[in-house]
Structure 1
């Protein structure tokens, strides 16, 4: 109980510090710490799948993207020291936040008793998927459309980042040319971690059908294993004009849609799986989705193509 209270207090304190920070780098650093603390909170709530996703995507990838944005903004990232928010604006923000918190609390406290839920129906139908992990079963079967849209959002994010390419940069390799790091921790990690990380990602993806894990967590690890050699200057990303790279980004969502349409034709409902085929189809989708999401996440971190990037 005491540990949970301390964790809750730490989460509130770090979140407050991230909001009040005047320097962009400080705000991002506190945001990353906030995500890691949230991961611990999800572990305490017995939700390891959510905890891994929060650590990989919420704190890890989002933190890296925000740090990249701070670097690109340069001196414009920090709030002007001579323009603090006025008292009225501060009060309005506080009232708005308090109103949202009160509305959420009221919505929870005013739920009927017992609260409406579809959990019994889902639990009864879960064995038909052949999946032992309820999270994977819900995300790929009962909330399959939501998962498909999440994968599509990642593709749209890559397109949005590529659209920021400066004149003369379209079609070249993403990101700026990274100097070769011949020694030091980064060089060592870039050479040693990728083989291990790939095996760990494959394990997390495979066990996700019956235990905590899955495609998003595995994809985040695979993306990191590609980014390490890139940051060390040991690997050159392909040109965004390469057809295979574009196909890799969209292959997962496309396969998801194809399987969904096949379900509509065979079973009469989009993303409905034929009896006995649910698990192999879901695993096939997850394998391809993992590769697509990993490539997309790495490309997001690398950023838009640069004119001086290697072609």
Structure 2
């Protein structure tokens, strides 16, 4: 048995153990910690499968921003969790377990019944990759072959933040999202909030830039920047900007706005919507990715901050 096989076996056992722990544990906080660790282990599995882009996304969202959301929810539920008397009875738990097992078995059967040579468009994507000047096949597919889907995904993020802000009360409309955080200025959180953001910003920008030719991109880099911004906010070193800020709204629409502007340029001067001119394809895509980096970072951070809760003095 090789070292690789032993490592993969141990990793699989850890992932299954964390999954069972997250489901079976009764305390919300413990389940959240298990879920975060589960996301990081799954990221390692994607690395083993040479899917580095997916691994970066899983680590940033599943183990990072998603963990922050769940930890915040667990903190709010901690006071009421001990007083909650209602628990599912045994029949409900058995039914949920049976349903989960049936879904897992159906997925396993579907995967096993797939043809050995599954249909794929990978050869066509590789054959036309030179048209964009990008060496990363994932970026090629996201920005060129399915550019419309990628643009609409950013619109979905924009609609999500509008939906969250619409939950604000009339008095707080246009105010600052989330509560004001105060932390010990000499504590560990404040120390990390001063130490990590400069490094995190460099890493986020690097992930964006290297995404043209290597694993990375705007979404992964934006998730890193959002994490750094949230860390500074949670440490009380900065406050969330008011939802009425024009500069903030400009950042939120920058990504999808530039994406559709370039797309209309392709429609007017090229063959079709989002048809990049070969001579300028790479600079245009990098420009869109840069705008999307800012939009993704701001949107993810504000989604986690929540609806506006504090009005801004006029």
TM-score by length of 1: 0.91
Matched residues in 1 for 2:226 and 2:112: separation? 41
Task: Identify which of 34, 45, 48 aligns with 1:44.
Answer: 48
Equivalent residues in 2 for 1:14-93, closer than 5 Å: 14-76=18-80, 80=84, 82-87=86-91, 89-93=92-96
Residue equivalent to 2:126: 123
**Distance in 2 between the 1:211 and 1:51 partners?**
13
What are the Cα deviations for residues 193-240 of structure 1, in whole angstroms up to 9, with x where unaligned? 222221221111111101111111111121122222222212122211
| Residues 1:206 and 2:209 are matched in the alignment | yes
Of residues 298-307 and 39-48 in structure 1, the stretch that sits farther from structure 2 once superposed is: 298-307
- Partners of 1:85 and 1:162 in 2: CA distance: 37
Deviates more, 1:90-99 or 1:287-296: 90-99
- Do the aligned residues in 2 keep the contact of 1:176 with 1:309 (CA within 8 Å)? no
SS at match of 1:269: coil
**Counterparts in 2 of 1:266 and 1:308: CA distance versus 1, 3 Å:** closer
What are the Cα deviations for residues 46-86 of structure 1, in whole angstroms up to 9, with x where unaligned?
11111111000122011111222233345445794552333
Does the aligned pair in 2 maintain the 1:177–1:309 contact within 8 Å? no
Give yes or no for contact 2:177–2:310 (8 Å, CA) kept in 1.
no
Paired residues in the alignment total 310
**RMSD (Å), alpha carbons:** 2.2
Q: Is the 8 A contact 1:167 1:307 kept in 2?
A: no
Structure 2 match to 1:241: 244
- Where does residue 10 of structure 1 map in the other structure? 14
> What TM-score, normalized by structure 2, do the two folds share?
0.91
Partner deviation per Cα, 1:69-128 (whole Å, 9 max, x = no partner): 2333454457945523332x3333233223322332232222234221111111111121
Q: Which runs of 5+ in 1 are unaligned?
A: none
Q: Among residues 234, 243, 266, which one is paired with 1:263 in the alignment? A: 266
Unaligned runs of 5+ in 2: none
- Cα distance 1:79–1:146, how it changes in 2: closer, same or farther (>3 A)? farther
Q: Does residue 289 of the first structure (1) align with residue 292 of the second (2)?
A: yes
CA–CA distance in structure 1, aligned partners of residues 134 and 43 of structure 2 = 24
Matched, 1:165 2:165: no
